[in-house]
Amino acid sequence: MPDASTALPGRDTPIMTPGKHVVNGRDLDGPYPEGMKELYVGMGCYWGAERAFWELPGVYVTAVGFAGGITKNPTYHETCTGQTGHTEIVKVVYDPKEVSLNELLKVFWERHDPTQGMRQGNDVGTQYRSALYLTSEADLEIAQETAAAYQNALKEIGKDGQITTEIGLLDAFYYAEEYHQQYLARNPDGYCGLGGTGATCPLPASSPSPQE
């Protein structure tokens, strides 16, 4: 991982102006309806990960980009050099009255392998590391609790690897280029390397229902 002295400098100007979601026509960058919440997930290549979330009931809109690094407004190719510190991220805007954070995190844990460090399957590099970025301390605590629960679930199926997911509060999110947004809707036969471990992530008994 680069540090501030070795990371690429980036730029002050965003590399794209977020437009409309290709599937549902909603604005990628808002404004969003009142009451919407945000979750930022890294599961390897963001193409398949984004589709996994835009298909979920209660998800208002999704977008792909970069977070967790140093370089301002990085390009995709810069991120792929490993010299920005970012990982590929899906921004998930959702209605907590329709889908809970715990339910979204269940999808996150089960749809990829969070024990692989700086890779996901055949995709190798810092930009493919598993990550969860939250927007409040309360959500951060929930994410950490689900990580502990999923670690136990992995142990129960005999998978010895430790979860390497980077979990923290969101610092900054930078939108990726337009052609990456909803890539698998634009290119139905495109690459999707998502693959889970086979372990089921348990929802806590205290998890609020979508109506609460």
Structure confidence at residue 14 as a pLDDT band (50, 70, 90):
very high
- The reported pLDDT for the residue numbered 203 is 85
Q: Which residues contact 188 (CB under 8 A, 6 or more apart)?
A: none
This prediction's pTM: 0.94
**Catalytic residue, candidates 45, 80, 192, 201:** 45
Q: Name the fold adopted by 37-185.
A: Peptide Methionine Sulfoxide Reductase; Chain A (3.30.1060)
The pLDDT value given to residue 140: 98
Ordered by start, the domain boundaries in the chain are: 37-185
pLDDT digits (tens, 9 = 90+) for 171-206: 999 999 999 999 999 999 998 989 999 999 998 765
Which segments of 103-189 are extended strands (E)? Answer: 119-120, 123-124, 130-134, 166-169, 173-175
**Is 192 one of the catalytic residues?**
no
- Show Cβ contacts of residue 202 under 8 Å, excluding neighbours closer than 6 positions: 149, 153
β partners of residue 166: 131
Q: What is the percent of the chain with per-residue pLDDT over 70, rounded to a whole number?
A: 96
Q: Tell me if residue 22 falls in helix, strand or coil.
A: coil
Tens-place pLDDT, residues 56-93: 999 999 999 999 999 999 999 999 999 999 999 999 99
List the structure tokens of 90: 């899906």
* Cα(39)–Cα(131) distance, integer angstroms: 11
pLDDT above 50 (res 208): no
